[in-house]
Structure 1
Amino acid sequence: MAEFVHVTGAKSARRIQRSGVAARSHGPTGRRGVYCMPVLPSFTLTYQWVRELRRWHPGVLVAVQLRLPDEEPVTVGHYGAPPRQATAAQAVAAVRELDDPRGYEAFVPRAITTAEVRRIRDVPQGVGWRYLPAAHGRRPCPCPACLPRGGYKAGRLRRRFPYDEPPRPKSELMARLRAATTADDIIDVLGELGRGRRGGAEELAYLADHPDPDVRDTLESVLRAYRGREARRLRERLAHSSSLTSAPDNS
């Protein structure tokens, strides 16, 4: 018999003792089932998912110890890669042989019966990794997928590690614009200039006669972030030039 651990909320413990573990998770192929981790010689590696799952499941978590038939079909693999088909015994053996089994998991594509639940035990709530297995010592990713709103210290992490890089100074961008030699380079710099209010639009007036229509279209869009008479004049000039270019020739 192959042994696994399923981590879930303590509030589900009585229901699991009464009727087993419901197949509520969606597996890699879309089938419903139960995620679990093979029991390993290391306590920390066996219960490695506790700390990460606490980000998504409020309250105290417990570990449900399972015993499945060796020939039970499951999938096994790292959470960031496509899993492979295996039997329960093969999944346990494969994970045990890994030098670094952090981030690995198994998926049973069915519900777990009460007869397959050995016991439910308390586990330390801080065991395992968080965000990703090698996250310790690395800059956390503050994007909404990795750091959802309302998470533990999410606001402080976003202030410390902003998702968007700070805008470059205008002087640096204008130097890059003057040095740009291709239309793509010019468009890239114009895109950065358009992220905020940049003041003097007269510095961009020479681009209104650029031969590349994509540069002129980008310039017209960027000038919406500028204020003042010169910005309005340039926008009107570009809009007029665009209308003349797109007008059909009936001659």
Structure 2
Amino acid sequence: MATFVHLTSTAHAPRIRRAGIRAESRGRDGARGVYCFPVLRSYTLTHQWLRELARHGTRGGLIAVHLRVDDAEPVAVGRYSRPPERVTAAEAVGRIGALADPRGWEVFVPRAVTAREVHRIRSAPQVSGWRYLPDAHGRVPCTCAGCVAGGGYGSRRLRERRPHELDGPPPPPRVLLARVEAAGAPGDPAALREALHWFGMRRSGPLPSLARLAGHPDPGVREDLVWAVGRWRNPGVAALLDGLAEDPCAGVREAVEAVRD
């Protein structure tokens, strides 16, 4: 029997003892199943995913669920950043155990795990493992919207300390309005589109000061205006979009349809 460990929220312990582990996760091919990792001699490597999973929030901390499956059970094995391979459970244990650095590897069992296959459940202190990715400590963090999740611990301070050139955080509205005014009339398209890019990251903004851009001769400015203010809840947004819905440029009209979907 191949032995694996599955890390999950403490709140799930009673249900797991009673009915096993649900097939709630999705594999690369869309199949539902359970992610786990072989039980190795090294406690740190066996529980390497602890800190990364804890970063996404848990109910009452994490527990380690040890489970046993048949050696011939078909599973998927691979590193998180690569397509997995279909092997047996015994082959997955042997392959990961033979690696010089098995950090970031995982095993996917494409089905639910029954209560009879659960060997034991114990607490798992969240002091082992890596965060973000193996060897992330010491690297300059990326602050793009894809790497830094909004609302995460320290994310606001990180983005303020190392602002991303495209994903912000956006400058204050008064700074952006000054850039719009400095662009002139009708205004330099490049400067206006950059300001509108940042306005689009805000939940609301100074709509009356931007409404004049609906008549800008550059269609790119008008389209970016739609993307910037289309999700705002300010009074007057609907009327502005009504006017732009009749714009002679197809790209502007399509943008209006997209923000209203």
User: Under a length normalisation based on structure 1, what TM-score does the superposition of the two structures give?
Assistant: 0.68
Q: Which has the larger radius of gyration?
A: 1
CA distance in 2, matches of 1:52, 1:70: 28
3-state SS of the aligned residue for 2:148?
A: coil
Shift in Å, 1:130:
0.2
Matches within 5 A, 1:95-106: 95-106=96-107
Output the CA distance in 2 between the equivalents of 1:46 and 1:166: 36
Cα distance, 1:51 vs structure 2? 0.2
SS in 2 for 1:137: coil
RMSD (CA atoms): 3.3
Contact 1:67 1:118 survives alignment (8 Å): yes
C-alpha separation in 2, matches of 1:90 and 1:131: 27
* Counterpart residue number, 1:42: 42
Structure 1 residues 166 and 2: alpha-carbon distance in aligned structure 2, compared to 1, 3 A threshold: closer
Identity of aligned residues (%): 52
Deviation at 1:106, TM superposition (A): 0.4
Map 1:21-60 → 2, pairs under 5 A: 21-58=21-58, 59-60=60-61
Superposition TM-score, scaled by structure 2 size: 0.65
Deviates more, 1:59-68 or 1:15-24: 59-68
Q: 1:136 to 1:103 in 2, by over 3 A?
A: same
**Contact 2:145–2:167 (CA<8 Å) still a contact in 1?**
no
In the TM superposition, residue 146 of structure 1 has moved relative to its aligned partner by 2.4
Partner Cα separation in structure 2 for residue 66 and residue 24 of structure 1 = 16
The residue identity in structure 2 corresponding to 1:100 is: D
**Structure 1 residue 115, shift from structure 2 partner:** 0.9
Separation in structure 2 between the aligned mates of residue 198 and residue 5 of structure 1, nearest angstrom: 60
Name 1:112's counterpart in structure 2.
113
| Separation in 2, partners of 1:37, 1:162 | 36
The CA deviation string for residues 9-45 of structure 1, in whole angstroms up to 9 with x for no partner, is 0000010000000000011110100000111111101
1:1-251 aligned within 5 A: 1-58=1-58, 59-164=60-165, 196-197=179-180, 199=182, 220=189, 222=191
- Residues 55-100 of structure 1 deviation map (CA, whole Å, 9 limit, x = unaligned): 2233401110011100000000000000000000000000011111
Aligned-residue offset at 1:145: 3.0
SS at match of 2:163: coil
Contact 2:180-2:191 at 8 Å conserved across structures: no
Question: 2-side partners of 1:118 and 1:153: how far apart?
Answer: 37
Deviations along 1:185-244, whole A, 9 cap, x unmatched?
A: xxxxxxxxxxx5584779xxxxxxxxxxxxxxxx6555676xxxxxx9xx76x89xxxxx
Q: Distance in 2 between matches of 1:166 and 1:63?
A: 37
Secondary structure in 2 matching 1:158: helix
For residue 164 of structure 1, report the CA deviation from its aligned partner.
2.1
Alignment length, in residue pairs? 194
For 2:180 and 2:61, locate their aligned partners in 1 and report how far apart those are by CA, in whole Å.
Answer: 48
Unpaired runs of 5+ in structure 2? 169-178, 196-212, 220-261
CA distance in 1, matches of 2:155, 2:145: 10
